[in-house]
Structure 1
Amino acid sequence: MATDPASATPLGDVQITYGRSGFGGLLKEPYLLFLASFASIGGFLFGYDQGVISGVLVTKDFVCIPLPNPDPLNTTLECIGSNTPKAKQFPLLANDDTLQGWVVSVLTLGALFGALVNGPISDRISRRWSILLANIVFLVGSIIQASAFSIPQIFIGRAIAGLSVGQLSMVVPLYISELSPPAMRGSLVAFQQFGITFGIVTAFWLDFGTQFIGGTGDGQSPAAWRFPLAFQTVPSLILSIGTFFLPYSPRWLIMKDREEEARASLARIRRVPESDYRIRLEMLEIQASAIFDKETTAAMYPGTTSPVSLLWKRYGSLFTIRHLNRRLFIACFLQFMQQFTGINAIIYYAPQIFLKIGLSGTTVSLLATGVVGIINLLSTIPAILFIDRWGRRKVLLAGAIGMGVCQLIVATIYAVYQDRLASNPGAGWACAVFIWLYIANFAWSIGCVNWIIPSEIFPPGVRSQAVGVAIGTNWLTNFIVALITPRLLNTIKFGTFYLFFAFCGLLFIWVFFWVPETKGIRIEEMDKLFGGNTGADDVKRMSEIQEQLRISEAIAEANKVQDASAAHIETS
C-alpha cells in the first residue's frame, strides 16, 4: 500500500510556507506564475512541432496529387501539375504510408536522444542555459524544415527539432520543480502540459487556416505548409531571448557551491528578504541535501575523480540502489502508462480514427482533430488550479477510471457496429463524444502528473539524469505507439480500444497499491517516502552535516519567530 505522506514531517516543527495551494495561491505569487508560464513556452514548442506535421502532410502543395493510371503495369508516379510551376514538392510522400509514418516518428527518436543527453548538459551548464541551447537547436531544425526542397531535408529538420524537443521536455519541468515551493509545485509544473496542449491546438488550427492560402486545389501556395513550419521559430526566439532574464535554479547553484548566488536567487523567487527565516531554513535544507549527496557519492565511489566515470556510476546507481530504482521505476512506468492509455494514438491519428467510426470529409476530420486539441487544452486548467489540493494519487486514480470507461464505451460501440458506423451516424458521433471525454480525463490527470512526479522525487546528485531517463522512456513509448497504432486499427480494429481500456485498468491498480502521495512534500524530504538516508552510516553522516550547518539553532530561531507572530495575531 502507498506510504502515508503525513509520515514525511517538515524540518523540525517549522513549516516553511510561502503561500497556499490552488488558484488563490497562484494569484498571490505572480512572479512564480510568470516564470512557470514563460518556461513552458518550451512545452508549447514540443506540442506545436508534434502537432503541425499532421496538417502539413495533407496539404496539397506539399504532396503529389496522383494522375489516374489505367496501365497497372506502369508503376511510374505522375502528378497533376508535375510539369508546371505549381509542381508538388514531395510527391513520394503521397502514396507511401511508411514514409509518412517515419516523417511523424523521426521527431520522437530525436526527442528520445535529446532527453537522455540533456541530463548531464543541464548539470554542467545549468537548467537555464540548457533551455537556451535547446532553443538554438530548435531554430536550426525549424529553419531546415520550413525551407526544405527534398525529403532528406524534411527528415533532418524533424530529427534536429526532435532533439531540441526532447531536451526541453526534460529540463522545463525539472527547472520549474526546483523553483517551486511545495504547496504550488504540482500546479506550476502542470504548466508544462498546458504549454504542450496549447502548442498542439495552435498547430491544428493554423494548419486549418493556412490550407486556404492560394486555394485548396492544385494552385495552392507553398506558404500553406511552409508558414506553419516557419511560425514555430517565433516562440522559440521569444524563449531564447527571455532565457537571459530567467533566474538560476537555487538548487543547481548549491550543487555548484555558489551559496551567495543561491540565497539571492531563492530570495528573488520567493519575494522575501534574504534575512527571512524561511529563506535561511530552506537554504540549509538544500545545502544539507547537496552535501549529503556529495559525501555519500565519495564514500560509494572512492578514488573516482573522472567526471565521466562518476556520471556513468551515477546512472548505474539508479538501477542498483534500492530506493533509487524504486523511484526510477515509478517515474518510467508512469511515462509508459501515459502513452499506452492511448493519448498519442488519438493525437497522431485522430482523422483516421474519425473516418473509421463513420465520419467523413476533410473539413469534418480536421474540425474533429481541432476539437480534440481544444478539449485537451481546456481540460488541463483544472489540474493547474487544484492538483496541489487533490494530490497526485487521487488525480491519477480518478483519471484512470474516467479514461477506462470512455475507452470501454468506444470499443463496445465500434464492436457492435463495425462497418455499419457510416450508416449509423448516431453511433459514430457517440464514439466521437467519448473520445473527447477520454481526452478531457487524460488532460487533467496523467497528462499533468507524468511531468510532476519525475521532477520532484529524486535526490540532487541523480535528479537530472533520472528525469532524462524517465522522459526518454516517454519518447520511446511514444515512438512505439505511433508505429503500431495504424497496424492495430487495421488488424484488431475495435480491439485497439479494448487494449487501451486494459492499460487504464492496470494504471488504476498500480497507482492504488504502489505509488505514494508526494503532494506538499519538499524535494529534500522525499527520502522519507522512498527510503534512503536510513542506514547507520547515512544517519550519522546527516547528523554531522546538520551539526556542521547549525540547523538546530536555525530551527530554534524560526520557532521563536513563529511563536512571536502567533502571539501578535492573538493580541491584535
Structure 2
Amino acid sequence: MGGGGDTGTQFYDVALRRRQALMGASGPRALVANFKVFRIALFACIGGVLYGYNQGMFSGLLAMPSFKEHMGEYNPFDPNADQTKKGWLTAILELGAWVGALLSGFIAEYMSRKYGIILATVVFIVGVVIQTVAITPAGAQATLAGRFITGMGVGSLSMIVPTYNSEVAPPEVRGALVATQQLAITFGIMTSFWIDYGTHFIGGTERGQQSDAAWMVPTCLQIFPALILLAGMAFMPFSPRWLVAHGREDEARRNLASLRDLPEDHELVELEFLEIKAQALFEKRTAAEKFPNLVEPTAWNTFKLQFVAIASLFRTKAMFKRVVAATVTMFFQQWTGINAVLYYAPQIFQQLGMDDNTISLLATGVVGVVMFLATIPAVLYIDRVGRKPVLAIGAIGMALCHFTIAIIFARNENQWESHPAAGWAAVAMVWLFVIHFGYSWGPCAWIIAAEIWPLSSRSYGVSLATSSNWMNNFIVGQVTPDMLQGIRYGTYILFGVLTSMGAAFVWFFLPETKRLTLEEMDTVFGSEGTAAADVERMDEINREIGLTALLNGLGGDQDASSHAGSEEKKDGSAEAEIRP
C-alpha cells in the first residue's frame, strides 16, 4: 500500500524537475518572455481597476459637502447622525460583494471564467447607473441599493479575475499575474483619490457652494473602464483548465499552446496539458464516485454541487488545511485595517490634526500613490522571493506602524494645533503602513487564495476565500466609525495586535507555494496521506493518457531526474527547489 504512495510521489518529483528544467526563471524577464499571457492578464485586471476605483472613490465622496447633503440622514460626518447608518453607507457595498463572491463560484464553473467576468461587469454597470440617477436627497435609498448591486459585481470580479489569471499563467509567473490584480486595484484607488481631489473644487469647497457634479463626475467615470472590459473580454481566450474540465480538450490544447506562444507539440505544452488532463480526470472520477447523482453537467446540478463541494472542503485534513490557509489569510488581510484607512482616510487624517478638508483629501491622494508604487515590486519579484517571507515582514511592518500611530495619537489627541509635527508624523506612519500593505498582504493574500485549490474545487474554494475577505471587509467598514469615535487611538492598537497575530499565522502555518503548478499543491498541503486507491487511480490515469509514457520517454524515473538535473545545470535560471 505504501509503495503506491512512494511511486506517486517519485512520479510527480520527476514531472516537477522536468518542468522546472524547461521553464525559465521568475522575475521581470519572465514577464517579458510570457508577454502574451501577461497582456491578457493585464486586460482582465481592469476588473481590479473597477474594484479599486469604486473603493477609493467613495472615500473622497464621504468628505464632500454636496454628497453629505445628498445623503440626508445618512450624512457620514454629521456629528448627530447615527453611527450605524454611517457604517452602512460604506459597508453595504461589501455586503453586496460578499453575496457576489458566494455566487461567483457557480457562475465561474458553469459559464466559464471568461463569461463570468462579462456577467459580473454587466451587474457592476447596472449598479453604477442606479447610483448616477439618484441625484436628489430622496435618492439616498437608491444610492444604497446601487452600491449593493455594484458590490455584487465587484465581489464576483474579485473572485473570478484572479482565478482566470492563475489558470492561464505558467508557474514561473503565476504569482506575478495574480499579483497584477492587486496592482490594478491600487491603480484604481490611486486614480479615484486624485479624481476626487480635482472634482472637490467644482462649484466651491464649502457647504452650499459645491456642485452635485463634484460627486457625480467620479461616480459616472467608472462606467467607461467597465464598458472596455465588457467589450474586450469577448475576445479573450478561455482558461485551458476550465476547457479540460468541460471536455473541450482540443480547444484547451490550442489555447495552452497559444498562451505559452509555443507549438502544440512542444514538450512543455504536452507535459502541462497532460498534467491538467490527469488532474481533471482524477477529480471527475472521484466526484462521480462520491456524488453519483450530480454527474450530469446541468445548471441545477452545478448549482447544487457548489454547496456539496464547499461542504467537502471541510471533510479531509488536507482540504481543511487549504480552507484555513485561504480564509484565515483573508481574515487577517482585512483586519490589518487597510480598508478602514481607505474608506475613512479623510476622517482619519482630520482626526490626526489635518483640519482643512482639502489638506486631508490631498493626504488621502498620497495614500493611493504610495500603495500603487509599493505593489509594483510584488508583481516583479513575488515568484522569486516567495509568499511567506513577504507576508511575515509586511505584517510586522504594519503592526509597528499601528502601534506608533496609537502612541502619537494618545500623547497629542488634545493638542494637535500646538504640535503639528506630531500630526504629520502620524500621517507619515499611515503612509508607511500603506507601503507595507502594498508589497505584502495586498497581492499575496489573493495569490494564496487563488493558487492552492485542486481543479474540481478551485472555483468553490476561491469563492469561499473571497467571501471571507468581503465579510470581514464588511465588518471592518461597519465598525470603524464606531471605533474611531469610541475607542479612538485604541482602534490602532486593535489593528496592530491582530496584524501581529497574522504574522505568527503566516510563519507557523502557511506553506511556501512559489513556482509550484496548481496541480502540485496537493503534495504541499498534505496529500502524501491520500488513500492508496486515490494514488492507484491517478497512476492509472497517468498511464491512460500517456503522461507516464512521456516521462518514461525521457529514460524512466531515474533518467528523467538526471536529464532534468543536467538541464538545470545548463540553464542557471531554473530553480533547484523541489518539494519534499
Q: SS of the residue aligned with 1:380?
A: helix
Q: SS of the residue aligned with 1:419?
A: coil
Q: 1:489 to 1:14 in 2, by over 3 A?
A: same
* Pairing partner for 1:44 from 30, 44, 49: 49
Deviates more, 1:364-373 or 1:25-34: 25-34
Q: Does 1:286 align with 2:281?
A: no
Counterpart-to-counterpart distance in 2, 1:291 and 1:136: 33
Q: Does 1:101 align with 2:87?
A: yes
Amino acid of the structure 1 residue aligned with 2:87: G
Deviates more, 1:15-24 or 1:431-440: 15-24
Counterparts in 2 of 1:484-523, with a 5 A limit?
A: 484-523=479-518
Counterpart-to-counterpart distance in 1, 2:372 and 2:565: 46
Unaligned runs of 5+ in 2: 1-8, 296-300, 572-580
Unaligned runs of 5+ in 1: 65-88
Q: 1:110 to 1:543 in 2, by over 3 A?
A: same
* Pairing partner for 2:15 from 11, 16, 21: 11
Q: 1:139 to 1:6 in 2, by over 3 A?
A: farther
Cα shift at 1:8: 7.6
Q: 1:566 to 1:444 in 2, by over 3 A?
A: closer
Q: Is the 8 A contact 1:7 1:528 kept in 2?
A: no
Aligned position for 2:120? 134
Aligned position for 1:56? 61
1:367-403 Cα distance to aligned partner (Å, 9 max, x none): 1111111111110001011111100001011111211
Cα shift at 1:360: 1.3
Q: Is the 8 A contact 1:177 1:189 kept in 2?
A: yes
Counterparts in 2 of 1:353-368, with a 5 A limit?
A: 353-368=348-363
Aligned position for 1:111? 97
Counterparts in 2 of 1:93-242, with a 5 A limit?
A: 93-94=74-75, 95=78, 96=81, 97-149=83-135, 150-217=139-206, 218-242=208-232
Q: Is the 8 A contact 1:8 1:529 kept in 2?
A: no
Deviates more, 1:221-230 or 1:328-337: 221-230
Deviates more, 1:349-358 or 1:299-308: 299-308
Cα shift at 1:304: 4.2
Q: SS of the residue aligned with 1:379?
A: helix
Aligned position for 1:436? 431
1:239-267 Cα distance to aligned partner (Å, 9 max, x none): 11110111100000000010000000000
TM-score norm. by structure 1 comes to: 0.90
Aligned position for 1:91? 72
Counterpart-to-counterpart distance in 2, 1:531 and 1:328: 13
Cα shift at 1:213: 2.3
Q: Is the 8 A contact 1:182 1:522 kept in 2?
A: yes
Counterpart-to-counterpart distance in 2, 1:446 and 1:162: 22
Counterparts in 2 of 1:388-403, with a 5 A limit?
A: 388-403=383-398
Q: 1:228 to 1:303 in 2, by over 3 A?
A: closer
Cα shift at 1:219: 4.1
Counterpart-to-counterpart distance in 2, 1:356 and 1:401: 25
Counterparts in 2 of 1:238-249, with a 5 A limit?
A: 238-249=228-239
Q: Does 1:537 align with 2:533?
A: yes
Amino acid of the structure 2 residue aligned with 1:234: F
Aligned position for 1:276? 266
Q: SS of the residue aligned with 1:190?
A: helix
Aligned position for 1:72? none
Q: SS of the residue aligned with 1:133?
A: helix
Amino acid of the structure 1 residue aligned with 2:305: L
Among the aligned pairs, what percent are the same residue? 43
Q: 1:366 to 1:444 in 2, by over 3 A?
A: same
Aligned position for 1:417? 412
Counterpart-to-counterpart distance in 1, 2:352 and 2:565: 67
Aligned position for 1:86? none
Counterpart-to-counterpart distance in 1, 2:411 and 2:65: 36
Q: 1:524 to 1:484 in 2, by over 3 A?
A: same
Counterpart-to-counterpart distance in 2, 1:405 and 1:146: 41
Counterpart-to-counterpart distance in 1, 2:461 and 2:23: 28
Counterpart-to-counterpart distance in 1, 2:566 and 2:247: 33
Counterpart-to-counterpart distance in 2, 1:159 and 1:151: 13
Counterpart-to-counterpart distance in 2, 1:61 and 1:492: 29
Deviates more, 1:555-564 or 1:507-516: 555-564
Aligned position for 2:577? none
Aligned position for 2:401? 406
Q: Is the 8 A contact 1:337 1:503 kept in 2?
A: yes
Cα shift at 1:453: 0.7
Cα shift at 1:550: 1.9
Cα shift at 1:312: 2.4
Amino acid of the structure 2 residue aligned with 1:551: L
Cα shift at 1:432: 1.0
Cα shift at 1:146: 1.2
Q: Is the 8 A contact 1:43 1:192 kept in 2?
A: yes
* Pairing partner for 1:470 from 465, 473, 480: 465
Q: Is the 8 A contact 2:17 2:564 kept in 1?
A: no
Q: Is the 8 A contact 2:24 2:172 kept in 1?
A: yes
Select the structure that is richer in helix: 2
Aligned position for 1:76? none
Counterpart-to-counterpart distance in 1, 2:150 and 2:509: 36
Q: Is the 8 A contact 1:187 1:384 kept in 2?
A: yes
Amino acid of the structure 2 residue aligned with 1:132: I
Q: 1:56 to 1:352 in 2, by over 3 A?
A: closer
* Pairing partner for 2:31 from 7, 10, 26: 26
Amino acid of the structure 1 residue aligned with 2:170: P
Amino acid of the structure 2 residue aligned with 1:333: V
Counterpart-to-counterpart distance in 1, 2:189 and 2:167: 26
Cα shift at 1:60: 3.2
Q: Is the 8 A contact 2:278 2:538 kept in 1?
A: yes
Q: Is the 8 A contact 2:112 2:242 kept in 1?
A: yes
Alignment length (residue pairs): 542
Cα shift at 1:10: 5.3
Q: SS of the residue aligned with 1:183?
A: helix
TM-score norm. by structure 2 comes to: 0.89
1:273-307 Cα distance to aligned partner (Å, 9 max, x none): 00101111101100010011011112223444444
Counterparts in 2 of 1:527-566, with a 5 A limit?
A: 527-532=522-527, 534-557=530-553
Cα shift at 1:212: 2.1
Cα shift at 1:196: 0.7
Counterpart-to-counterpart distance in 1, 2:527 and 2:565: 36
Cα shift at 1:169: 0.2
Q: Does 1:260 align with 2:250?
A: yes
Q: Is the 8 A contact 1:31 1:269 kept in 2?
A: yes
Counterpart-to-counterpart distance in 1, 2:143 and 2:90: 10
Deviates more, 1:363-372 or 1:345-354: 345-354
Aligned position for 2:575? none
Q: SS of the residue aligned with 2:172?
A: coil
Cα shift at 1:435: 1.2
Q: 1:416 to 1:221 in 2, by over 3 A?
A: closer
Counterpart-to-counterpart distance in 2, 1:309 and 1:229: 37
Q: 1:8 to 1:207 in 2, by over 3 A?
A: farther
Cα shift at 1:223: 2.0
Q: SS of the residue aligned with 1:11?
A: helix
